[in-house]
Amino acid sequence: MSNSSAFPDWHGTTILAVRKDGKTVVAGDGQVSMGATVVKGTAKKVRTLAGGRVIAGFAGSTADAFTLIERLEAKLEQYPEQLARACVDLAKDWRTDRYLRRLEAMLIVADKNQIFTVTGVGDVLEPEHGVAAIGSGGNYALAAARALVDVEGLDAEAVARKAMGIAADICVYTNGALTVEVL
Q: In the chain, what is the straight-line distance between the N-terminal and C-terminal CA atoms, in Å?
A: 45
Q: State the angle between helix axes of 156-170 and 138-148 in degrees (0 to 180), rounded to the nearest 10.
A: 140
| Residues 157-161: contacts with CB under 8 Å, at least 24 apart | 157/18, 157/23, 157/25, 157/182, 159/18, 159/20, 159/25, 159/131, 160/16, 160/17, 160/18, 160/25, 160/26, 160/27, 161/27
* C-alpha atoms less than 13 angstroms from C-alpha of 151 in its C-beta half-sphere: 16
* E-only strand ranges, the chain: 10-11, 14-20, 23-28, 32-34, 37-40, 46-49, 54-60, 105-110, 115-118, 124-125, 131-135, 179-182
Does the annotation count 67 as an active-site position?
no
The DSSP call for residue 149 is T
Q: Which of 13, 24, 117, 174 is catalytic?
A: 13
Catalytic positions: 13
